[in-house]
């Protein structure tokens, strides 16, 4: 694997990490059609755990098969495929070495009342399955946040010790946050910064609105121009140690293709490192999903 100067410079920002962890980050950054550019498109398929199989896959029945998602990510030329334990186990041998994988080690479900996630897999599973990274979710604002961070600290430290990277889904919710506040600019930047502070190599957050939620933060945001998504993305990137940590943005609920493409253009213009897009891809028929992912990749290549 020949490394580009862009990827080499990114790896240099992770000053405390061992060669194994940097090699696994490089595998993700050098994979697929965006390999070497510093941009990423990742397919995450943890929605069956979070929302249930029918809500996730009934609209596109072939997606009930874990092999479908491996093939989609590989054929689309993506950087990585992220999923919970059982999904990766179901295709581990068939697709070994064909795409970097990220083991999602915690999850919630649609019946849960607490804003929390259960640890469902471990670093030993990630090693056994040949993963490049673990992924985990934290909920800033939740009453369970402190416990979630303590679990995250242990998992991230264990991953780094054996040469794996860590991807943190940082989704504000619960506590005193309003529904509008979950997507507020100040809250999203704070959530991204928290993920960096607990040692994430790659941060996953939602695209923020121009709403400012925290009364104590309003003064800091006065006079700023937050009118475009690209400017809001740039602020989240700034919160990720002035771009020293990789940050990707989730696609959210299924929506029209034009909206997905506009999101990708804003992420690219704002200096984000890419998209982690699940339902907006696998809930479409395969050929339509491949066309959509092709267009997103081309946007990050500067061709869209």
Helix axes 229-239, 185-197, angle to 10 degrees: 30
Which two tokens mark 161? 């010790």
**Is 204 an annotated catalytic residue?**
yes
DSSP, residue by residue, 192-213 = HHHHHHTT-SEEEEPPP-S---
Identified catalytic residue from 115, 204, 231, 255:
204
Which residues, 6+ apart, have CB-to-CB distance to 48 below 8 Å?
56, 57, 84, 87
In the chain, the N- to C-terminal Cα span, in Å, equals 27
Is residue 222 within 8 A of residue 228, CB to CB? The reply is no
Closest CA to 139 of 103, 119, 168: 168
Cα gap 15→129, rounded to integer Å = 27
Q: Which residues are designated catalytic?
A: 204
């Amino acid at each position: 694997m020949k490394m580009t100067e862009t990827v080499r410079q990114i790896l240099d920002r992770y000053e405390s990490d061992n060669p194994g962890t940097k090699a696994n980050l490089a595998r993700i950054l050098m994979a697929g059609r965006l390999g070497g550019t510093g941009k990423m498109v990742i397919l995450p398929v943890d929605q069956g755990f979070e929302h249930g199989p029918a809500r996730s896959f009934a609209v596109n029945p072939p997606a009930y098969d874990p092999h479908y998602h491996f093939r989609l990510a590989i054929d689309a030329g993506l950087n990585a495929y992220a999923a919970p334990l059982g999904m990766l186990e179901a295709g581990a041998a068939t697709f070994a070495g064909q795409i970097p994988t990220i083991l999602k080690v915690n999850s919630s479900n649609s019946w849960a009342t607490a804003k929390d996630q259960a640890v469902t897999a471990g670093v030993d599973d990630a090693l056994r399955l040949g993963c490049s990274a673990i992924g985990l979710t934290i909920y800033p604002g939740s009453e369970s946040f402190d416990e979630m961070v303590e679990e995250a600290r242990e998992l991230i430290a264990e991953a780094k010790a054996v040469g794996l990277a860590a991807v943190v889904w940082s989704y504000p919710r619960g506590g005193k946050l309003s529904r509008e506040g979950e997507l507020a600019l100040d809250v999203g930047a704070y959530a991204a910064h928290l993920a960096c502070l607990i040692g994430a190599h790659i941060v996953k957050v939602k695209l923020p609105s121009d709403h400012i939620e925290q009364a104590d933060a309003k003064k800091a945001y006065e006079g700023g121009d937050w009118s475009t998504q690209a400017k809001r993305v740039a602020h989240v990137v700034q919160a990720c140690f002035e771009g020293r940590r990789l940050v990707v943005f989730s696609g959210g609920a299924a929506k029209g293709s034009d909206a997905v493409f506009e999101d990708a253009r804003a992420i690219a213009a704002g200096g984000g490192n890419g998209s982690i897009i699940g339902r907006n891809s696998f809930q479409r028929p395969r050929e339509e999903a491949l066309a959509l992912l092709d267009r997103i990749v081309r946007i990050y290549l500067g061709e869209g």
